[in-house]
Structure 1
Amino acid sequence: MSDRQKGLVETKNEVVPHAINRRCARHIYANFRSQFAGAALKRYFRQASRSYSAAGFNFALYKIKELKPAAYEWLLKIPAEMWSRHAFDPRIKNDHVTNNISESFNHWVGELRSKPILTKVDGLRAKLMSRLQKRKQKGITWSGLVVPNVVKELNNVKEESRKCHLLVAEDHEFEVQDDNINYIVNLREKKHVIAGFGIYLAFHVGMQHWEYLIEERI
């Protein structure tokens, strides 16, 4: 994932030509906002970038088109697989739409970025030792096998799943009715598709949604 700084795309195509390419949605929005500002446009842009389904993505783009046709045309020039979750390559088990992780790492590294390679490596070693020790001490205070933030997220997903209706097809396959969208869920293959559309989704949080629902209803 990149912010398309000068030279990045060309270097990527030369060094790793077959690598999957994504663009940071935050940087896309910064360029988008410079031409098409507004709270509603921002909301629908975020919805489009974070949608796990083509239906949600298309709905958000439709609303953008209603508000500002030129903004809709601007977004169509960027391939969806570069910035929207629903179109990400399912082989890449990561659904991040921004490059915040790499930018946070660069900030954490700090002045070591400009040091000679041996000084940099030794500095990173020391920083990692300190960080791992702090994490260990914090982890000792936790109960259970799952970290608190993940438990909180899964509990939220579990609560949201209560509005869904479950139909059993066979031992490992189910139809889940969620509002006006039906999903075919296969727990054995760890995937779900939107019934009638055949759109493949394979993201962990999405699967947790269905696994919690099915576990409770069976």
Structure 2
Amino acid sequence: MRMYICLQPLRSGFIKGYRPLIGIDGCHLKRAYPGLGKDGNNNIYPIARAIVEVENKDTWCWFLECLKKDLGDVCEGGGWTFMSDRQKDLLEAFELQVPTVEKRYCVRHIWASLKLQFSGSTFKELFWNATRATTLVDFEVAMESIKFLSEDAYVYLDNIPAKHWSRHAFSSDCKSNMLLNNVCETFNAVIRDARDKPILTQMEWIRRYMMKRHNEKWEAIKKMDGKLMSYVTKFFERIERDVRHCIVQVSRGDSYEVELNGKRTCTCYHGS
């Protein structure tokens, strides 16, 4: 009825070197649960997967319990983040199995529900401004604008704690500003050809795909120059122009004040 797989090399690699962020989702048609992270180059890193008989709270609890056993104590302490599409059964399973971890909700799914009642480019722009806000002030400005347009839309969003969907309220432990659960959805799309096969054949197809993919990533990394991943290098190149205009003042020890265009922000994202 159920099968869970977490390969030892993937488990060890994730524990030793990856950011504490796990995306969890289900392929509803064939009921495959994947749990995925991101590697140092911001690529998908599959951790574990399972086949179950039906998607409900019981099977989600079973999957999370198996995942906890494989990851050890990491899910019990602080600093870990799980991202999901906000499925009711999965949220209940989170509270039972991993109550102490930070939970993030895929904002694309929040918008999909919101736009059923409050559509239009203005609502969409303000909603995404609220999700991407890195300071409390910017978040409140976006929310007040939404409230001006519709009290109901404001109440709908206000009932979802900001720590689950707005960057300004995210914990800095995770070291990721990810708003979308697209790591799982991308993986689900890739394995589409395997999902109509018998379970053992399906699992072997996924295993071989992951082996081939990891080897391609390994060969690419061996050709890398310097200490930074290519994604990080490109990111730094994009922000280089802004950095040139920063004014840096030492505070004490390893603490600095950085000013850009007259604005200062702190590492807790609540500065203005």
The TM-score by the shorter chain falls in which range?
Answer: 0.7 to 0.9
Aligned residue number for residue 3 of structure 1: 85
Q: Tell me: CA distance 1:19–1:148, structure 2 relative to 1, closer, same or farther (3 Å).
A: closer
Mapped partners of 1:183, 1:198: distance in 2: 4
Aligned residue number for residue 173 of structure 1: 255
Q: Tell me: CA distance 1:160–1:68, structure 2 relative to 1, closer, same or farther (3 Å).
A: farther
TM, length-normalised to structure 2: 0.60
Aligned residue number for residue 163 of structure 1: 245
Aligned residue number for residue 113 of structure 2: 31
Mapped partners of 1:60, 1:178: distance in 2: 22
Cα deviation 1:64-113 (Å, max 9, x = unaligned): 22333332222111100111111123333332111111111122222445
Matches within 5 A, 1:1-218: 1-113=83-195, 118-139=200-221, 142-184=224-266, 192-193=267-268
Mapped partners of 1:126, 1:150: distance in 2: 29
Q: Residue type matched to 2:103 in 1?
A: N
Whether the 8 Å CA contact 2:264–2:271 is kept in 1: the answer is no
Deviation at 1:193? 4.5
Secondary structure of the 2:84 match is coil
Aligned residue number for residue 210 of structure 1: none
Higher strand share: 2
Q: Which moved more, 1:2-11 or 1:73-82?
A: 2-11
Deviation at 1:30? 0.8
Moved over 6 A (4+): none
Q: Tell me: CA distance 1:107–1:86, structure 2 relative to 1, closer, same or farther (3 Å).
A: same
Over the matched positions of the two proteins, sequence identity in percent amounts to: 34
Deviation at 1:146? 2.8
The gaps in structure 1 that reach 5 residues or longer are 185-191, 200-218
Q: Which moved more, 1:55-64 or 1:111-120?
A: 111-120
Mapped partners of 1:40, 1:162: distance in 2: 33
TM, length-normalised to structure 1: 0.73
Mapped partners of 1:182, 1:128: distance in 2: 44
Q: How many positions carry a matched residue from both structures? A: 190
Secondary structure of the 2:143 match is helix
Deviation at 1:126? 1.0
Q: Residue type matched to 2:255 in 1?
A: E
The gaps in structure 2 that reach 5 residues or longer are 1-82
Mapped partners of 2:102, 2:265: distance in 1: 27
Mapped partners of 2:213, 2:128: distance in 1: 33
Task: Report 1 or 2 for greater relative contact order, CA contacts < 8 Å, sequence distance ≥ 6.
Answer: 2
Q: Which moved more, 1:31-40 or 1:4-13?
A: 4-13
Q: Residue type matched to 1:82 in 2?
A: H
